[in-house]
Amino acid sequence: MIITYTPESLAGEFDILMQRAKLDLDEGWHEQMLVEFAQMREELDTIHAFANRASGPVDLRQVITFGRVEK
């Protein structure tokens, strides 16, 4: 199952994490870090989807590209 996020939900989650970490970012940095955060969430969802389909233990140190393990 791939989770889809709205821009508002991503921004809200990011802001909560920054508050919990007591980090105050300048506006320019905030926008860039929000983009990076959105990309990270997408990559984590891909890894979780891959791991959930696996029949056994998964070595996440392997290179994962577009949901496939490259050899």
Q: Domain ranges in the chain?
A: 7-69
Nearest alpha-carbon partner for 54 in 44, 40, 43, 68: 68
Give dist(CA 55, CA 61) in Å, integer.
17
Residue 58: what pLDDT? Answer: 73
- Residue 5 burial (CB count, 10 A): 14
> How far apart, in whole angstroms, are the C-alpha atoms of residue 17 and residue 25?
12
* pTM attached to this predicted model: 0.65
Average confidence (pLDDT) per 10 residues, the chain, 71 residues: 78 94 90 92 84 76 56 53
Alpha-carbon distance of 53 to 9, in angstroms, equals 26
